Structure 1
Amino acid sequence: MSTSQDDGMAEFGYSQSLDRSIGKFASFAAGVSYISILTGTFQLFYFGYAFGGPAYWWSWPMVFAGQITIALCFAELAGRYPVAGSVYNWSKRLGRPVTGWLAGWMMFTASVVTLTAVVLAYQITLPQIWSGFQLVGDGTGETDFAISAVIWGAILIAFTTAVNAFGVKLMARINSAGVFIELVAAVLLIVLLAVNIVNPPTVLFDTQGLGEDSGLGYLGAFLVAALASAYVMYGFDTASSLGEETVDPRRTAPTAILRAVIASFVIGGLILLFAILAAPDLADPALGTSAGGLQLIVLQALGSTLGKVFLVTIVIAVTVCALAVHTAGIRLMFAMARDNALPAGATLAKIDPKRKTPVVPAVLIGVASVLILVVNIGTPKIFTAVTSVAIIMIYIAYLLVTGPMLMKRLRGEWPDAGGGTGYFSLGRFGLPVNIVAVLWGGVMALNLAWPREEVYGEGALAYIAFIFIGSVIVIGLAWYLIRGRHHIGTLPEHMAKNLEQAP
């Protein structure tokens, strides 16, 4: 097989510059580690439980039903366009140039903020393993928790920056090992929680009287609690974002995307289910606090020693999750820079000749994430505010893919001329699945952004999602319309040598 046939990048107008060495498990692991069930469920259980009680569990299958439609659309795209920075390149090929650029810009900004949100999870778990991990005060001071979280977050970001700068092979090895440990630990945790069940299944319908003072009743409380599930089940597109570094990506990436989201749904759902059924006291107010939450149930149900062993595996899960998020952000920045779609594109798209990886984006994303951490030290709602803003931008970026994809279907232009045969396809189910994906994405983005004091804080802070995301869109589009669109085009050093194969 020739080099051009092997890498397949000339079809998209690019030369093969990244190291194609990621196998099937590593591709699957990339999607699983980004979703990271142990990270998300343990970081956000307290939030869902505080606003929804035990019945909040039903938000998990609800969110999965919506997200799987997006994952199915992405699986189709992954087989046709296995290119770095998946969301950006997909939107670019499905919609107008400005749509593609905005999707990439939103996804990139979200990646930086998401990295910030993920590393904050260290602070929720580490002090429950050992009090000495509370680096500032004893955790009871007004800013003790936030400052310690920033320090731990900065340490983790420094690690992910170093690993990503060293090369994709090291990243893949660490990520795959971490995901293997996470999956084994998750299965064991499910079994141990299952044998320690003390509550009947009927508790899953217990609302604990929440929402009674709301005009919408429990539905209003449930919509807030559902954010905890929506905050977890995303990032499955990472498997395709590494498409240029994956062996046989047209077959590997679609399967990896679907396996990642389905495995995460099953494992995460069972952990939440059996944890609620195994909780010694569902009325304990500590279950709805960041200092208690799911970690507290594990410690109570399994005992201090065994419980802390599982908390260590959560730290491992958080580590590889942060690594995967950082990696995805780097590939997106590289993909846009290669098209000269970002300032200083040539510098950002430069590949280290020895490491075969874009080093500058790794460092810049790391620095930007740490700065966001520092700025948010004084924000009481740091965890939920930062997480919410990041997820909303990702939902919007996803909409900028599924929306144009739906338009192509409605115009009878899907699959397009470049699709070929033999790739993953939804066939006649494509249109209804695509419609649900768009509707779901729009509804959840609105639910996530709704100005709730319990999520974002009081006063102007309640509108931080609209303010921050609106600013990101305005600043980004201003650069694009004034300067960016006049210079966009594949940089010569990244252009395919066999241009006759390109569209």
Structure 2
Amino acid sequence: MTRVATGSDDEQLAALGYTSEFRRDMSLWANFSLGFTYLSPVVGIYTLFAVSLAAGGPPMIWSLLVVGLGQLLVALVFGEIVSQYPLAGGLYPWARRLWGRKWAWLTGWVYAIALLVTIASVTYGAGPYLAALLGLEASTSSTIVCALVMIGLATLINVGGTRALALAAIIGFSTEIIGALAVGGWLLLTERHHGLGVLFDSFGAGSEGSYLAAFLAASLIGIFQYYGFEACGDVAEEVPDASRRIPKAMRMTIYVGGAAATFVCLALVLSVPDFGAVISGADTDPVSTVLGTAFGEWGSRVVLGIVLISFLSCALSLQAAASRLVYSYARDGMLPGSRLLARFSRARGVPPSALVLAAVVPALVVLGSGISEDATTKIISFAVLGIYLGFQMVVLAALRARLKGWRPSGPFTLGRWGLPVTVAALVYGVAAMVNMVWPRTPDAPWYDNYLTLLSGVVVVGAGVLVLVLLRPYRNSGAVAGDAIGGENA
């Protein structure tokens, strides 16, 4: 098996078969900030707070701790892999080195579609907030326009290069963490209606059946929250001493992001005046209710500004991750049009064609909502499942490689804990995906009840079809499977 060089970053990349064109302008804090803004506590909590509170009541907050521990296991596995293989693109090159070209191609396919769709969902979700800040009437049209503006802004910043991305990530992190602490602290000081005891009281949520089922449904807020740490590895060739710094940045993303998300969620839960109204459906937007009461019209606008910066930072990080993934694919000759998509701007230090693709595809998804909101919902249903599926394809590849003799040789390793942590990460990930696709609306048509599962089957099925019929991996001569001495190691 291949053991990488432990000297300079250039020597390590040369040992892996690459000469990087990226500039290593991203510090540890900038790399962590990129992961944090992708994870985005504000975006994650504000997006699903109402749904989760209605499903499980205040105890839904405990899902943030459960999911956080599960995703920390995944982050530890990823840390070992990126420490040995600090390559741009993250999941795709990791799967390539651990298993082989075919598995890597399918892993990258799933992850790429999930990333591009997630960019669309995040910017679309930001649309109403931007419209409200600008005083526009909330409508599908205004939401689409605002979402396209967000995609355009993110693209302009990303085209500026690694330094612009790093600076934007740090600004986004600083704004979001200060905003989260300030907003949460103000709510706890001025709008707290309950004590901590409510965190153990369901207030009637799930009373029609098992509370465990209600809690699992509510735990989607945690599942939606805890990803983004992998973005630290997507830009591995832009970070000095990447083998040591990126595993640390990944863990920091989980620790700090998880703590911030839990604090924001706690402040909101204790500030909701009437849990019964949320659970019954009488109050469908408790976040706006709480913020409007606590901050008034002008204060709410300031909070809206902070929320929008969080959404923009999240979209920016997602787009950076997607563009590096596409570039990594194309650099290895694994895509149609690889020559175009692998183009690199030395002046900017970015892959411009890959960035354009990471802007155009999400924009088309957003525009699709003007034709059919239902169609957009079906596409976006795959987003979170796709991220988790991509994660677990890499974890499975790592487990397979371990069982075949791979021992991580980067500066960061788990030692004898590597195998049990990898197994636990896989068990957690599979359980989380089952929870995501579990049918919970028995009165709905079967295709709506299984919408997330069906979207996953369609995306994976399409990927397998392309893999079998077109065999895109045939044009790639880059090293693959070398963790266990396979393929063209």
Does residue 446 of the first structure (1) align with residue 434 of the second (2)? Answer: yes
- SS of match in other structure, 2:450: helix
Q: Counterpart of 2:276 in 1: which secondary structure?
A: coil
Q: Which of 397, 401, 415 is the aligned partner of 1:427?
A: 415
Answer yes or no: is 1:112 the counterpart of 2:116.
yes
Q: Distance in 2 between matches of 1:286 and 1:301?
A: 21
Task: Classify 1:128/1:306 alpha carbon distance in 2 versus 1 (closer, same or farther; 3 Å).
Answer: same
Decide whether the 8 Å contact of 2:53 with 2:278 is kept in 1: no
- Helix, strand or coil: the match of 2:57? helix
Aligned partner letter, 1:460: Y
More displaced, 392-401 or 223-232? 223-232
Instruction: Say which SS state the counterpart of residue 229 (structure 1) adopts.
Output: helix
Does the 8 Å contact 1:299/1:308 carry over to 2? no
Q: Flag structure 1 segments of 5+ consecutive residues without an equivalent.
A: 492-501
**1:50 and 1:289 in contact (8 A); partners too:** no
Contact 2:114 2:383 in 1 (8 A): yes
* Partner residue in 1 for 2:61: 57
Deviates more, 1:117-126 or 1:47-56: 117-126
Q: Select 1:167's aligned residue among 161, 173, 182.
A: 161
SS of the residue corresponding to residue 376 of structure 1 reads: helix
1:153 positional shift: 1.1
2:452 aligns with 465
Q: Quick one: structure 1 residues 265 and 75, their matched pair in 2 at CA, closer, same or farther if it must change by over 3 Å?
A: same
Shift of 1:478: 2.3
Once structures 1 and 2 are overlaid, which stretch shifts more, 40-49 or 456-465?
456-465
**Aligned partners of 2:221, 2:266: CA distance in 1, in Å?**
14
**177, 180, 189: which one pairs with 2:171?**
177
**Correspondence 1:157 to 2:151:** yes
1:211 paired with 2:206, answer yes
- 1:13 paired to 2:1: no
Matching residue's letter, 2:37: S
Contact 1:23/1:247, CA 8 A, preserved across alignment: yes
* AA at the equivalent of 1:478: L
One-letter code aligned to 1:133: L
Contact 2:9–2:242, Cα closer than 8 Å, also in 1 = no
For residues 302-451 of structure 1, the aligned pairs below 5 Å read: 302-377=295-370, 387-415=380-408, 419-420=409-410, 423-451=411-439
Q: Residue in 2 aligned with 1:102?
A: 106
- What aligned pairs does 1:67-146 form with structure 2 within 5 A after superposition? 67-127=71-131, 129=133, 132-134=135-137, 139=138, 144=139, 146=140
- Mapped contact 2:205–2:279 kept (Cα < 8 A): no
Segments of 5+ residues of structure 2 without an aligned counterpart are: 1-6, 480-487
Query: Are the structure 2 counterparts of residues 16 and 237 from structure 1 closer, same or farther at C-alpha, using a change threshold of 3 Å?
Result: same
- Mean Cα displacement is larger for which, 469-478 or 334-343? 469-478
Q: Do the aligned partners of 2:35 and 2:231 also contact (CA within 8 Å) in 1?
A: yes
User: Which deviates more from structure 2 when the two are superposed, residues 81-90 or residues 161-170?
Assistant: 161-170
CA distance in structure 2 between the aligned counterparts of 1:39 and 1:231, rounded to whole angstroms = 10
Q: Against the structure 1 CA distance between its residues 16 and 96, is the aligned structure 2 distance closer, same or farther, given a 3 Å change threshold?
A: closer
Alpha-carbon deviation of 1:189?
2.3
Deviation at 1:353, TM superposition (A): 2.9
Give 1:383 deviation, angstroms. Answer: 8.5
Say whether 1:188 aligns with 2:176.
no
- TM-score normalized with structure 1 length: 0.87
Please state whether the residue corresponding to 2:345 is helix, strand or coil. coil
Q: Are the counterparts in 1 of residues 35 and 230 from structure 2 also a CA contact under 8 Å? A: yes
Task: Answer yes or no: is the 8 Å Cα contact 1:49–1:288 preserved in 2.
Answer: no
1:191-240: per-residue Cα shift (whole Å, max 9, x none)? 222323220212112223222334xx222222211112211110211011
Equivalent residues, number: 472
Structure 2: how far apart are the matches of 1:267 and 1:248? 27
Q: Once structures 1 and 2 are overlaid, which stretch shifts more, 300-309 or 424-433?
A: 300-309
**What pairs with 1:158-307 in structure 2 (closer than 5 Å)?**
158-196=152-190, 197-214=192-209, 217-285=210-278, 292-307=285-300
3-state secondary structure, aligned to 2:81: helix
Instruction: Map Cα deviations across residues 61-82 of structure 1 (whole Å, 9 max, x no partner).
Output: 1111211110111111121111
Q: Is the deviation greater in 41-50 or in 191-200?
A: 191-200
8 Å Cα contact 1:112/1:326 also seen in 2: yes
Shift of 1:125: 2.9
1:236-264, Cα deviation, whole Å (9 max, x unpaired): 11011111011111111111000011101
CA distance in 2, matches of 1:473, 1:239: 25
Counterpart for residue 474 of structure 2: 486
Cα deviation for residue 148 of structure 1 reads 2.9
Structure 1: distance between partners of 2:157 and 2:61: 36
Shift of 1:384: 6.9
Q: Could you tell me which residue of structure 1 aligns to residue 4 of structure 2?
A: none
In structure 2, what residue type is equivalent to 1:186?
A
Partner of 1:494: none
Inter-partner Cα distance in structure 1 for 2:132 and 2:151: 21
Matched, 1:25 2:5: no
**Structure-2 residue corresponding to 1:498:** none
8 A contact 2:278–2:286 mirrored in 1: no
> Amino acid of the residue matched to residue 467 of structure 2?
Y
Query: Structure 2: how far apart are the matches of 1:31 and 1:286?
Result: 33
Find the aligned partners of 2:306 and 2:444 in 1 and give their Cα distance: 32
CA separation of 1:360 and 1:290: change in aligned 2, threshold 3 A: farther
Paired residue secondary structure (1:234): coil
State, as a whole percentage, how many aligned pairs show the same letter: 29
Letter in 2 for 1:5: S
Q: CA deviation at 1:333?
A: 0.4
Contact 1:120–1:383, Cα closer than 8 Å, also in 2:
no
Q: CA deviation at 1:162?
A: 2.2
Instruction: Identify the range of structure 1 (378-387 vs 44-53) with the bigger mean alpha-carbon deviation.
Output: 378-387
**Does structure 2 retain, via aligned residues, the 8 Å contact 1:46–1:288?**
no
TM-score, with normalisation over the residues of structure 2?
0.90
CA distance in structure 2 between the aligned counterparts of 1:357 and 1:328, rounded to whole angstroms: 12
For the structure 1 residues 318 and 337, does the alpha-carbon distance in structure 2 shift closer, same or farther, using more than 3 Å as the test? Answer: same
Check whether the contact 1:341–1:487 (CA below 8 A) recurs between aligned residues. yes
Q: CA deviation at 1:127?
A: 5.0
Cα displacement (A) at 1:306? 3.1
CA distance in 1, matches of 2:339, 2:280: 50
- Does the Cα contact within 8 Å between 1:84 and 1:332 map onto a contact in 2? yes
Contact 1:20 1:244 in 2 (8 A): yes
In the other structure, the counterpart of 1:499 is none
